[in-house]
Amino acid sequence: MARRALQYDDWICEGRQQNGLDANRRSELSDQFYWPALVIPRLLGLAVFVCVACALYNARRNLQSALGIPEAGAASELILALLFVTLSLAALYGVAVWYRRDIRARMLNGDRDPPLLANKVPLLALLLYPRRHQTRALLRAAPKLDKLLLAAWIVVGAIFIFALINPAFVAEWLPRALFLPVLLGGGVLLIGEIAALSHRWETPLLLVLVAVGGIFGYLSWHYDDVRWTTTPAPSKVVGKDLEISFAEAVARWKAANSCDQTCPSPIVIAGAGGASRAAFQTATVVGALIDLGLQDPSYGNLRNRIFALSTVSGSSVGAVIRAALTDAAEDGTPDVPPCRNHDSGAWYGVAANREKDPAYNAGKYWRNCFQQLLAGDFLSAVMVGLAYRDNGPLGNPFTGRAFWSDRGVLLEQAFERRYYDVTGKGATACTDAVSNGLCRRFGHHPDPKIAGAWLPLLFINGTSVSTGRRIVTSDVGAGSPVNATPLIQLAYDIGELRGLKAGSQRRLDRDVSIERGDDELPFPGYLAGRHNPRPERQHYRSHSGRWLFRKRRGGHCRGRGPGVGRTRSSPDRASNPKRTR
C-alpha cells in the first residue's frame, strides 16, 4: 500500500505545488529513497512466500511419523507439491517485481517508468476531478495493457465490496486460498488509493476512517448481542420442555438402553478446545463409536450408550453431531446418516477417494458423514467480519443496531450453509421458519420412546468475562443462581440468564458460534437477562469439558461407572491414564 502511494508526487510537498518537481530534484529524491521505497517492500513481499514455505515444510515433517496411515501419506505428497508451487511462485514474484517496468517498456515499445515519483495521478483523483485531469482523454490515449490493468482493478474492487456485503456467497465461489487475494488484495488496492488521495488533500483520510469506525463501533452497542429465535415447530424429536432435569435425562437414557438397575456403562465425550481440529477429532470419535456398534453387534448399540457430550471451544461444534442424529431420527432412520451430497469438496473422502475405497461413503457411515459436515470452509467469511466489518459496524446510532452482522453471525451462517449443502438441501442459512438441521432450537430434548432413538445431551461450556463463572448451555438445568442444588456450583445457565421467557429460544448453531473459536479468534456475545444485565461470554481453551463426569461419576445406575472419552487436538503430549480414565 505504501509502495503504491510512493509512485505519485503528492507525498512530497514540492510535488503538490503548481510547477511540481523538476527533473533534477526528481532524480535526487529517487536516489535518496531507493532502498526504503523499493528494496524493503519487495523483501517484505518475498518474506510472505518464505513463511508459507516454512509452514508447509514443518507440516510435512510432522507427518513423517504417521506415513503408515494412507491419509497422512496422501497429505504429505500434497504438501510437497504445494511447497514446490510456493517456491515457483516466489521465483515468479521476484522476476515480476524486479523486472516489471522493463517488461512493460518492451511490451509497449516505450521508455522505462521510474520506480517512484513517476508523476502519476491517483485513480481516485481522476474519478473525482475528471475535468481537471482530463480523465477521458487519458483513458482513450492509454495503452491496452493499462486498460486491462484498470479493468482488473475495477473487477477486484467490485468483488471486494461485494464480499463485504455478502461474504458467504463470495467465499463459496472463491473458497479458502482463492478468497485470500480478494480479502487482502482488494483492501490493499482501495486503501492504497485512499492513502494517495490523503497526500494530495493533505488530510489523514485513513485516520478519519479509523475514527469513524470506532465511533460507530461505540454507538452500535447491540452489535454482539446474543440473538434469540421463536419456539420450535411441533415434531416427534421436539420435547415439551425447554430444559429437563438431570434425573429425567438419566431415566430416558435407561429406557433407551432397556435397563433399570444393571445398565451398560454410559459413554461421556469430553471434548477439549482446538478450533477446527478439535471439531473434526470429536466428530470422528463419536462417528467411529456409532459405526462400531452398527457393524459389530457384540458391542451393542453404542449410539444409545453415548449419554452426553461436554464440550468447549472447537469441540462445541459437536452440535453438528446432534443435529445430524436428530434429523435421522425425525426421518425414521436413526441408523442412516443424513449426508446426501457426497461431492461437496474439501473432505478427503470425496468421489475420487471413494472410487478407490468404498469405505468412504458419507451416506452410509456416521464417521464419514460427520467428517464431511465439518470439512467446510468456516473461516473465509468470518475473516471478512474480523478484518473489516467488526472494525466499523455501520448502523443506526439511535437504536444501537448495525446494518450488517458480526463475525459470530457469519460463523453461524457458514455452519448452516455447509450442513444444508452436505445434507442435500442446498447451501442456505437459517430463518426462524426452519426447525431442522442446525436451525433446531437448543433444548427440548425428546423422549426416546417418541423420537425413536436416544439423542445425547449437550453441555456446551463458556465463560463470563465479567465474573469469571462458567456459562453452560445444555438440555438440562445445569446451574442457577437461584436453585438450591444446581448441577454445577457457581455456574450460569443460559436459559436462566435469559429468564426462560416464552419465545426465548436458541438455535444449535448460535450456541456453537459463541462457544467455538480459539485464543486468537474469539467470538464474544452479550446476554441481557434477569440475573446478569450484560455478561460478556467467551470461552477459555484450557477447560476441556470434563466437569460433567467429575460431578456425576457413577451416578447413572448401579454397576459399572461411566466410560469417559476425552478428545484432544494436541496428541504430542502423553495422556495421563489416571486423569482421563
- Tell me which of 206 and 520 has the higher pLDDT: 206
pLDDT score recorded for residue 509 = 55
pLDDT score recorded for residue 539 = 31
Query: Which pLDDT tens digit goes with each residue over 248-279?
Result: 999 999 999 998 878 888 999 998 888 888 88
- For the chain, the C-alpha Rg in angstroms (whole number) is 29
pLDDT score recorded for residue 192 = 83
Any residues with CB less than 8 A from the CB of 8 and at least 6 apart, and which? 15, 117, 118, 120, 121, 122, 196, 199, 200
Give the Cα separation of 527 and 532 in Å (integer).
8
Query: Which pLDDT tens digit goes with each residue over 181-193?
Result: 778 778 888 888 8
- Global pTM reads 0.79
- Tell me which of 214 and 573 has the higher pLDDT: 214
Q: Are 437 and 233 in contact (CB under 8 A)?
A: no
Confidence grade of residue 83 (pLDDT, cut at 50, 70, 90)? very high
Give the Cα separation of 160 and 327 in Å (integer).
37
Q: C-alpha angle 454/455/458, rounded to 5°?
A: 145
Amino acid at 25: R
* pLDDT of residue 412 exceeding 70: yes
Q: Rounded mean pLDDT of 120-140?
A: 86
Q: Rounded mean pLDDT of 529-557?
A: 36
DSSP 262: B
C-alpha cell at 58: 514443518
Q: Rounded mean pLDDT of 38-67?
A: 88
Backbone angles phi, psi at 412, to 5 degrees: -55, -50
pLDDT score recorded for residue 86 = 92
Nearest to 565 by CA among 540, 546, 538, 542: 546
pLDDT score recorded for residue 448 = 93
Give the Cα separation of 281 and 423 in Å (integer).
20
DSSP 182: I
pLDDT score recorded for residue 526 = 63
Confidence grade of residue 19 (pLDDT, cut at 50, 70, 90)? confident
- DSSP, collapsed to helix, strand or coil, labels residue 572 as coil
pLDDT score recorded for residue 2 = 58
Query: Which pLDDT tens digit goes with each residue over 326-375?
Result: 999 999 999 999 998 877 667 877 765 666 677 788 889 999 999 999 98
pLDDT score recorded for residue 284 = 92
Inter-CA distances, 222 with 225, 396, 402, 408, 478, Å: 5, 10, 8, 13, 27
Which residue has 467465499 as its cell numbers? 171
Which residue spans within 191-283 are E strands per DSSP? Answer: 267-271
CB burial of residue 191 (10 Å; 0-12, 13-18, 19+): middle
- DSSP, collapsed to helix, strand or coil, labels residue 473 as strand
C-alpha cell at 289: 463409536
**Of 55-59, 105-109, 380-384, 506-510, the least confident:** 506-510
pLDDT score recorded for residue 67 = 86
Which residue has 474439501 as its cell numbers? 346
CB atoms within 10 A of CB 85: 11
Confidence grade of residue 101 (pLDDT, cut at 50, 70, 90)? confident
* pLDDT of residue 518 exceeding 60: no
* pLDDT of residue 547 exceeding 70: no
Which residue has 481516485 as its cell numbers? 124
- Tell me which of 383 and 464 has the higher pLDDT: 383
pLDDT score recorded for residue 540 = 31
Q: Are 415 and 516 in contact (CB under 8 A)?
A: no
**Count of all residues that appear for the chain in the document:** 581
Q: At what angle do helices 186-201 and 205-219 cross, to 10 degrees?
A: 120
Confidence grade of residue 545 (pLDDT, cut at 50, 70, 90)? very low
Average pLDDT, the chain: 79
CB atoms within 10 A of CB 192: 18
First to last CA, the chain: 55
Residues 370-395, buried b or exposed e (16+ Cβ, 10 A)? bbbbbbbbbbbbbbbbbebbbebbeb
Q: Rounded mean pLDDT of 438-464?
A: 90
Give the Cα separation of 360 and 363 in Å (integer).
9
pLDDT score recorded for residue 332 = 93
C-alpha cell at 73: 501419506
Chain-centre distance for alpha carbon 233: 29
DSSP letter string over 290-338?
Answer: HHHHHH-GGG--HHHHEEEEEEEGGGGGGHHHHHHHHHHHHTT-TTS--
Query: Which pLDDT tens digit goes with each residue over 155-164?
Result: 888 888 888 8
Residue 402 forms beta bridges with which residues? 395
* pLDDT of residue 197 exceeding 80: yes
Residues 476-503, buried b or exposed e (16+ Cβ, 10 A)? bbbbbeeeeebbbeebbbbbbbbeeeee
pLDDT score recorded for residue 557 = 39
* pLDDT of residue 117 exceeding 50: yes
Confidence grade of residue 561 (pLDDT, cut at 50, 70, 90)? low
Query: Which pLDDT tens digit goes with each residue over 223-244?
Result: 888 777 788 888 999 998 888 8
